[in-house]
Structure formats: structure tokens, C-alpha cells
Chains A and B, each alone.
Chain A
């Protein structure tokens, strides 16, 4: 019991300090404030032309999660690369704490930034575009958004551990930024994409989180989508945890930890 308490204390303190690292950069702060709002603006300006309230609701919900995808997913994938540039990666790997437990609070801190993006985008849509999102069930909607943040952190965690061994793998996350808008169905339904792309969309937990957000807003049942989202997110977490150990060993064999 004492051990569990110590681990929770460790995760909480590390989360708080990592959130401080992320939120005290003026540059990163500006990006986190403006990027999601600009993307939402572009999306809503395009959809507004049609004058269809349903289309605006679709775009409004998509734009909210789109900001989270950009701010959280892309940064999470470069998480270990940032540590490498700061010269702290070797210290994190050399710590007696397993690397996966080092990374969880960092990704959770990123989730907090992601949640901020959702709230900021919804408020922006309301104040600037007068778009009042119709949410049938607020509790389910909030649950779906939280699930999106959590599973996106786990997906980013998976992408980031590969950077321990492969220095440039963070660019995969960056390269996924704009394709992710289509793949996850933020602005265009996944069903409209070619059939061969569907498996790729389904393999990203955010696709299911987005579907759950829409279902909960539109009065449907989001549980099936939430279950799929949780299962895929968990699979990425397990895979990342396993790969983390293997890739750290590989990095120790191939001397790639200190390389920048």
C-alpha cells in the first residue's frame, strides 16, 4: 500500500512539474492559444458558406478535437526528442524509475494542454461565430472528451518511445498532423474516405473518441465507440511499455541516447 502511495505521489509531483515546464514557455503558450483557434476559424469559415446548422455543429465539434490533436498528439510524439535536446534524456534513462513511469506524467501534462484546447475552441466558436453547440448529454460529452485526451496521450506515448532509438521518429508525429484531420474524421466523415484508408483510421484511438463525442452531442450512445477507443489506447500503452524497454536496450547497444 505504501508503495502504491509512493508511486502515486511520484506521478502527481512529476505531472505538476511537467505541466509547469509546458505552461511557462511563452512561445509554446502562444502556439497552444492561437493554433487551435486559427484551425477552428478556417474550418468554420468554410462550413459557414453552406448556412447549414447541422454542418456547423459537425465542424464545430470536429474543430474542438482537432485542436487537441495538433497541440497534444504532435508535441507528445516529439516528447523524448525534447528531452534529448535538453540533455535530460540520459538522466531519465539512468534513473532507477522505469522509463514508462517517467513518461506517463509528461503525457498527462500534455493531456491537460489538450483539454484546454477543447475548451478554448468551444468558447471561440461561441463568441466569434455565435455557434452554440447542441450537446444532448453533457456528462457523456465530457467523458468522451476526457477519453480523447487520455488515449491521445497514450498514442503520443507510443510514438515518443520510438524516438529513444530512432532519433528522427518524432517527425512521424509531425507528419501525421494534417493527415490526422482527415483520418480521424474531424471535418470529413471517415466513411467518405477510400476503403483502403479505413483500417488506418480505425487504428487511431482519436477516430473513435471523435465518434463518441459526436454521438454524445447528438443524443446517441457513445459507449461502443468509447470502448473501442479505450481498447486501442490501452493497446498502444502496452505496446509502448514493451517497446520502451526493448528500445532503451537497443539504444544502449547502439549508443543513440546522447545523440542530438
Chain B
């Protein structure tokens, strides 16, 4: 039995506009998503903003009803067996919210222990274990309002694990956390994997997915466009290489014309401070550097680097493909 299974899962939202003449519009957020997660697996769901990651997770954790298809967690249907699903899952989302600011970390955990059915005599030991796991031992009596974002995020994970769920849903847990905090968080997620938890993780950070995930599905516009191990996904950038060109103030029209250079498969632009870095997916043996620089013309150019494709390149290729 799979830990999580989604079969042709769909979710349509209806939005209404206008005051007197109300017009309804249907928006398909998730359009027939199917995947399986095996017990003990760490599965990544990657995709750009608005791709349908959070909507998919919310259907799996019973907070949203699907408008089509079906899904189950540990064999329990997410529509019909709501209580059974909720007993077996933990849900952690990223950001500052979701905790009682005026309570201490310990009291927050105590409150949610009660609501998530942790037996009173087990609570103290369980909370102690989890504080140790997320590295908050010694700070548990402080009010959450004084916590850093990284500490809050680790507290969120502890909260999600209170009732020892078999399946954990982590929705962009590292969003907005500094590099040190994010590293600590990845270590915590790694520990969960070692403990045999099944984890569904959504993230925007490719190195995070590459480091942690056993398998990854890339979702774009509500549909899964690729699925496989990180290595398999990297191989989807077929035998090519990547050219990175640092530019300053490059116009969009010029970026488009760079994409037309022979040997260039696709081009994406990334803002890095004052720089715009052009990331070009190229044919394996094509010599494109001269052609690209010629197209850039008077644009100021910094470093030009050629490298092997990463998971991020595979991701960009998958989500930007028409």
C-alpha cells in the first residue's frame, strides 16, 4: 500500500467579479495530478508560484475538497475518511504564522498536543523529544513572539510531529529562512527521513530538493510535467551544457534574440542584485558564446561561465518549456 496516492486529482476554483452584474469564472488550479509516494520516501513537489503545489497538498490533508479524481493517505480516502487521515498526518507550512505568539513554545506544543490527541501522560516526554530534535531545548519557555523565523519554522516542525504522524506534509518550510537556519532545517528533515517518516516536501530551492528528495515531481500549470529521481531529472537536459552570462541592464527584446542563436535551446533570465544573469541551455557541441555576445551588442557583460546542468537547470527547462 502506498503512503500517499493521488489519481487524476483536480481542483477548480470559482471566482466572481462585478457588483451588480456578477460573472463567475472557473480557474483550474490542479488539472488531473497523479502520483504515488511509497512508505518512508521523501517526495518533492516542485513548481513555480501558482503551479498548484499548495492546492494539491491541501486536498491531501483534507482542508480542500477535490473537484475531480481521488486521493488517499495510508489507504484512507481524503474525502470520506477525513478523521482517519487527520490522525495519521502532520502538516507544516512556511512563514511566520500558525503559532500563538503570546504563548511559549512549550505551551504552543502543549495546546496542539491536546488537539491532536497525544495522551496526557505522554505529552511531557514527547514535547521534550521534539524540542531536542528541532534544537529548541532551553528556549521552550520563551514566548514565540521573540523567536526568529528559523526558530518558528523548527517549532512548526515539532508541532507537526507531536502525534507521531506516519506521513508529513511540508509546504515550503524553508521559505524566508537565512542560509544557516535553512541548513539546520534540512538537517532536521534529513533526520525525519532516517526515522522512516514519509514526507511530501514542496520547495523552491533546487539544492534542497536535490539534497533531500528520493523522487521529485515537477508541476506546472496544475499538471505534472516530469517525475523521477533528481538524477533522472538532470538527465532530462539532454546531453547539453549550460552557459551563464552576467549582464547589466539587458532589454527583454535582446534576451529573446539571444534565444534565437543557433545551438541555444532555451534562455532564462535571473535577477541577482543589479545583475541579470542569462542562463542558456545549449546543444552539447555547439559553440554559442560568440553568437550570444554579438547579440548582446552594447549591453555591459560581466563573467561568462560554461558548466554542467544542475537540477535547477532541469527544473527551468521543464517549467519554461511551452
Contacts and interface: CB of A to CB of B under 8 A. Distances in A.
Nearest to A84: B97
Contact of A94 (B13, B86, B120): B86
A90 interface: yes
A102 B114 CA distance: 10
Nearest to B55: A255
A86 B119 contact: no
Interface of B: 13, 58, 61-65, 83, 86-87, 91, 93, 95-103, 107, 110-112, 114-117, 119-120, 159, 163
Contacts of A9: 114, 120
A33 interface: no
Contact of B87 (A14, A96, A255): A96
Contact of B97 (A13, A87, A92): A87
A94 B93 CA distance: 13
A14 B108 CA distance: 10
A97 B117 contact: yes
A93 interface: yes
B263 to A, nearest CB: 46
Contacts of B112: 91, 95
A21 B100 contact: yes
A20 B97 CA distance: 19
B62 A94 contact: yes
A129 B110 CA distance: 45
Given A87-B99, A96-B86, A252-B62, 10 more contacts: A20-B103, A20-B107, A91-B91, A91-B98, A93-B63, A94-B62, A94-B86, A95-B116, A252-B65, A257-B63
Contacts of B97: 86-88
B115 A20 contact: no
Contacts of B116: 95-97
Interface string A3-17: 000100110011001
A17 B112 CA distance: 11
A257 B65 CA distance: 12
Contacts of A86: 97-101
27 contacts: A6-B119, A9-B120, A10-B114, A14-B111, A14-B114, A20-B107, A21-B102, A21-B103, A25-B102, A86-B98, A87-B93, A87-B97, A88-B100, A90-B91, A91-B112, A92-B115, A94-B62, A94-B86, A94-B91, A95-B86, A96-B86, A97-B116, A252-B62, A252-B63, A252-B64, A255-B13, A255-B64
Q: Is the interface of A mostly helix, strand, loop or mixed?
A: helix
Contact of A96 (B95, B117, B120): B117
A13 B110 contact: yes
A9 B110 CA distance: 12
Contacts of B101: 86
A50 interface: no
Contacts of B96: 87
Contacts of B64: 252, 255
A182 B161 CA distance: 50
Contacts of B63: 90, 93-94, 252, 257-258
A93 to B, nearest CB: 7
Contacts of B114: 9-10, 13-14, 97
Contact of A253 (B65, B110, B163): B65
Nearest to A24: B102
| 3 tightest Cβ-Cβ pairs between the two chains A and B | A87-B97, A87-B98, A95-B115
Contacts of B65: 249, 252-253
Nearest to B29: A255
Q: Which of A17, A86, A93, A253 has the most CB of B within 10 A?
A: A17
A13 B127 CA distance: 15
Q: Which of B95, B97, B111, B117 has the most CB of A within 10 A?
A: B111
A13 B113 CA distance: 10
Contacts of A87: 93, 95-99
A102 B65 CA distance: 22
A257 B87 CA distance: 20
Nearest to A254: B14
B98 A6 contact: no
A235 B163 CA distance: 34
A6 B116 CA distance: 12
B241 to A, nearest CB: 42
B115 A97 contact: yes
Contacts of B87: 96
A14 B115 contact: yes
Contacts of A17: 100, 103, 107, 110-111
Q: Which of B101, B102, B110, B116 has the most CB of A within 10 A?
A: B102
Contacts of A21: 100, 102-103
A25 B86 CA distance: 32
B131 to A, nearest CB: 17
Interface string A240-260: 000000000100110101100
A249 B65 CA distance: 8
Contacts of A6: 119-120
A255 B27 CA distance: 13
A236 to B, nearest CB: 23
